[in-house]
């Protein structure tokens, strides 16, 4: 939600979601909704909002949670995308094939039965768990696929209204225990409900009638969807195509270079999660990648900036998968809160962050430790610090910084170094007592466009030119910028972690699907293999006639 606020749309999303007064409690029932056994109390959004100004210690997110079903969120995001200048949204268009040649992507897409080619500088596969892009790059998945669960979407307009009355009787989730365990999740309009149940058991309609019929008679409902939900806890071994990443499309000596092709969201980490980890991780991927791609296209990023996307986001996805796994096997999954995964992830192995030598503080202690998300505080005038950040980098001048000659001199040098790179940097004074307390000991804090801290001042001043080069990915030899910088081999560490937690390698079903899909792809369009399009493109034959798109 903090990321959506940066985009200026959190208010619009909130207005479309579950009302702020609706309870977010979790209820455990014996067999039916009429027999509640225990209630796990959580504050409502209205309660959180009422106390929001009382907490100014960096422990609370700027935006409280929001229950917003994905089928409500996505049309709103589509409208926002369509209203954004320079963005062209093409629904009903399928990526069929692609290759990279001559430093650009040529993608073949199918729309309304017609095949066309599209040229782009970059391609981001945000194409979900069965990602075509990932499969074409030959990127494998590590982790585990568990037994699928059944999932149903039910329209039952008056069940919520007829749930037992009384203080906090309504809830957002009902975990039914007993002979036929299942979970009922109230959707944002309270008229739609999702029902999750183990693969084996009575039909979903019978389950629903057994648990809801006891509180609502006659029970009038419509089963809108029933399906299986594969329970995957998988992580792509790479987030972009490397030099060796062949698409298996017969390009042969033309070669396929995948470095301009990246994965984001479920394409990179197919993980069947509840509690917002799947969507939050996907949105945070996009927030990390978007400004780096923009910087690269604008020309002020060095090569390390785009490369840092995987170094930062892959470990964060591994954390989310591990947390999902812990929740999946917990005896009381509803009691597993994950604030450190949702808000406390830190980019410890990033090559574009000036890492301190000291170890990071405990997970989700509010901190400006470089790599962490900037904790939210209210300024003295009641506005949130996040709202005064610029759209590029922001150098926060903490109380005392503007009268400290060392700090003012360094701020000037850093601004000049950013200017030489043509990289955007705003200087923002932070007149706030809370900032003094929460961000103690650091006169200057450099914040990136995605809210993560890139550097903070310590006892001595680093070389401003080298620091600007480091955080914009322009440092050729990442070295000792602040006298304390080091780069870990994050991929090896993360792989080891996923290997320890889960089975290694792609599950057999996944291998089979990848094979089937590529066969399907090649067989369907034999008359116009992509290799011909690429060769034509390389000769420049029809370059100017093709639509050209950025990522």
> Between 118 and 352, whose beta carbon lies closer to ligand FAD?
118
> Between 268 and 451, whose beta carbon lies closer to ligand FAD?
268
Cβ 95 to ligand FAD, closest distance in Å? 4
Q: Map residue 353 onto helix, strand or coil.
A: coil
Q: Are 31 and 210 in contact, with CB atoms under 8 Å apart?
A: yes
Q: Are 211 and 221 in contact, with CB atoms under 8 Å apart?
A: no
Structure tokens given for 6: 């940066």
Residue owning tokens 């479920």: 266
Cβ 276 to ligand FAD, closest distance in Å? 4
Q: Map residue 495 onto helix, strand or coil.
A: helix
Torsion sign across C-alpha atoms 362, 378, 459, 348: positive
- DSSP run (H or E) holding 447: strand 444-447
Cβ 288 to ligand FAD, closest distance in Å? 14
Structure tokens given for 285: 């991927």
Cβ 289 to ligand FAD, closest distance in Å? 12
CA 135 – CA 544 distance, rounded (Å): 30
Cβ 464 to ligand FAD, closest distance in Å? 38
CB atoms within 10 A of CB 541: 11
| Whole-number CA gyration radius for the chain | 25
| Total length of the chain | 551
> Between 245 and 278, whose beta carbon lies closer to ligand FAD?
278
Cβ 133 to ligand FAD, closest distance in Å? 7
Residues 6 or more apart from 545 whose CB is under 8 A from it?
none
Contact set with ligand FAD (CB under 6 A):
70, 94-95, 126-128, 132, 151, 229, 265-267, 273-274, 276-279, 282
- Nearest residue to the partner ligand FAD, using Cβ: 265
Strands (E), 102-221: 104-111, 114-120, 123-125, 141-155, 173-177, 182-186, 192-198
> Between 207 and 453, whose beta carbon lies closer to ligand FAD?
207
> Between 56 and 281, whose beta carbon lies closer to ligand FAD?
281
> Between 72 and 274, whose beta carbon lies closer to ligand FAD?
274
> Between 151 and 472, whose beta carbon lies closer to ligand FAD?
151
Cβ 229 to ligand FAD, closest distance in Å? 4
């Amino acid at each position: 939600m903090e990321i959506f606020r940066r985009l200026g749309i959190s208010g619009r999303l909130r207005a479309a979601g579950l009302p702020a007064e609706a309870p977010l409690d979790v209820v455990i029932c014996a067999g039916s909704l009429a027999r509640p056994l225990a209630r796990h109390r959580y504050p409502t959004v209205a309660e959180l909002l009422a106390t929001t100004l009382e907490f100014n210690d960096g422990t609370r997110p700027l935006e409280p949670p929001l229950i917003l079903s994905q089928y409500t969120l996505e049309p709103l995001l589509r409208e926002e995308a369509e209203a954004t200048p320079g963005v062209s949204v093409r629904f009903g268009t399928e990526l069929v094939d692609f290759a990279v040649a001559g430093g650009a992507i040529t993608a073949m897409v199918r729309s309304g039965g017609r095949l066309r080619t599209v040229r782009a500088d970059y391609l981001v596969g945000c194409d979900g768990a069965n990602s075509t892009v990932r499969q074409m790059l030959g990127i494998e998945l590590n982790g585990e696929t568990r037994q699928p669960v059944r999932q149903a979407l039910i329209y039952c307009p008056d069940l919520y209204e007829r749930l037992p009355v009384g203080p906090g009787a309504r809830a957002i989730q009902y975990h039914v225990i007993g002979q036929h365990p299942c979970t009922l999740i109230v959707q944002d309009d309270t008229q739609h409900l999702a029902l999750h149940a183990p693969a084996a058991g009575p039909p979903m309609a019978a389950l629903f009638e057994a648990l809801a019929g006891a509180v609502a008679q006659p029970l009038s409902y419509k089963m809108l969807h029933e399906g299986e939900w594969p329970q995957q806890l998988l992580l792509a071994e790479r987030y972009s195509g490397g030099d060796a990443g062949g698409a298996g499309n017969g390009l042969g000596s033309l070669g396929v270079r995948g470095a301009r092709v990246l994965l984001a969201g479920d394409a990179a980490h197919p993980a069947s999660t509840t509690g917002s980890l799947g969507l939050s991780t996907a949105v945070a991927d996009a927030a990390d990648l978007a400004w780096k791609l923009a910087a690269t296209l604008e020309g002020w990023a060095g090569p390390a900036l785009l490369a840092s996307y995987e170094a930062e986001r892959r470990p964060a996805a591994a954390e989310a998968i591990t947390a999902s796994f812990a929740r999946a096997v917990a005896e009381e999954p509803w009691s597993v809160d994950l604030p450190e995964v949702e808000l406390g992830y830190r980019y410890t192995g990033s090559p574009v962050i000036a890492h301190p030598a000291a170890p990071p503080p405990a997970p989700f202690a509010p901190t400006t430790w470089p790599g962490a998300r900037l904790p939210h505080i209210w300024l003295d005038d009641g506005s949130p610090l996040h709202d005064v950040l610029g759209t590029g980098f922001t150098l926060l001048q903490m109380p005392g910084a503007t009268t400290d000659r060392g700090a003012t001199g360094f701020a000037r040098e850093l601004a000049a170094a950013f200017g030489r790179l043509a990289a955007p940097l705003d200087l923002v004074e932070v007149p706030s007592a809370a900032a003094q307390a929460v961000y103690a000991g650091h006169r200057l804090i450099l914040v990136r466009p995605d809210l993560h801290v890139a550097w903070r001042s310590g006892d001595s001043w680093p070389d401003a030119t080298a620091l600007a080069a480091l955080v914009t990915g322009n440092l050729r030899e990442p070295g000792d910028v602040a006298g304390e910088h080091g780069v870990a081999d994050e991929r090896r560490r993360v792989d080891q972690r996923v290997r320890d937690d889960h089975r290694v390698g792609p599950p057999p079903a996944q291998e089979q699907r990848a094979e089937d899909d590529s066969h399907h792809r090649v067989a369907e369009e034999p008359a116009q293999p992509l290799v011909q399009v690429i060769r034509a493109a390389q000769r420049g034959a029809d370059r100017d006639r093709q639509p050209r798109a950025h990522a």
